């Protein structure tokens, strides 16, 4: 029996701008085959939790320091995902590395957005403004964003979508970060959620 909509969970750590892009894409019909059913944060003060509550989405906070270690941290997240019967997991600024056990358990069900054109400026240590600082230091003329499947290697999974963004001579890391978000991340992440959700419900 086909499902009506794929059940999506979004894992967050901070402001939740990518989460907001997904919520907005649901409202304006870009995402038609998926629905965010759960937002999980690993930081109690993540503003993304407020965004989720404002949209009427159930939230959960899982703090590693309260779990006693990585295994318990991941078990708590996995239990919530299974309880909500989640089909697709989106990492949207989720600042925690997930183990091979966890990613293997949800193989090809976890996606992430990274603010560069992988394989450039990616992997361990490349996150947030660091990515844009590295791109500017290298003098690239084009950067962008990538949505990819998640495995145990940081930014190492198969690429789903990419979008290029121009770099200008007087860019700062902050200016470039905002342009990459507006022109690439906030477009290709919802597009990937819709594409994969449609595939899930067709199975």
The residues assigned a catalytic role are 114
Q: Which spans in 33-85 are helix H?
A: 47-54, 64-67, 70-83
* DSSP result, 78-135: HHHHHHTT-SEEEESS--SPPPHHHHHHTTTSEEEEESS-TTSS-STT--THHHHHHH
Provide the Cα torsion 100, 41, 155, 190; round to 10°.
Answer: 120
| Residues 9/89, Cβ–Cβ less than 8 Å | yes
Burial track 119-153 (b if 16+ CB lie within 10 A, e otherwise): ebbbeeebeeeebbbbbbeeebeebbbbbbbbbee
CA distance linking residue 189 with residue 168, whole number of Å: 24
Contact 77, 57 (CB under 8 A): no
Give the up-direction half-sphere exposure of residue 79: CA atoms within 13 A in the CB hemisphere.
9
């Amino acid at each position: 029996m086909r499902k009506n909509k794929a059940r999506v969970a979004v894992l967050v750590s901070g402001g939740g701008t990518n989460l907001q892009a997904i919520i907005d894409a649901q409202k304006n019909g870009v995402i038609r085959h998926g629905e965010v059913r759960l937002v999980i944060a690993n930081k109690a003060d993540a503003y993304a939790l407020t965004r989720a509550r404002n949209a009427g989405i159930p939230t959960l906070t899982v703090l590693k320091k309260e779990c006693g270690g990585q295994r318990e941290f991941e078990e708590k997240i996995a239990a919530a995902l299974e309880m909500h019967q989640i089909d697709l997991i989106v990492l949207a600024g989720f600042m925690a590395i997930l183990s091979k056990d966890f990613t293997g358990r949800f193989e090809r069900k976890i996606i992430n957005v990274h603010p560069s054109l992988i394989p450039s400026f990616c992997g361990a240590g490349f996150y947030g403004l660091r990515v844009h600082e590295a791109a500017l230091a290298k003098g690239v003329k084009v950067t962008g964003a990538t949505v990819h499947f998640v495995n145990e290697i940081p930014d190492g999974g198969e690429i789903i979508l990419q979008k290029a963004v121009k770099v200008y001579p007087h860019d700062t890391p902050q200016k470039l970060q905002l342009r990459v978000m507006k022109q690439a991340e906030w477009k290709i992440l919802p597009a990937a959620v819709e594409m994969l959700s449609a595939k899930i419900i067709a199975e």
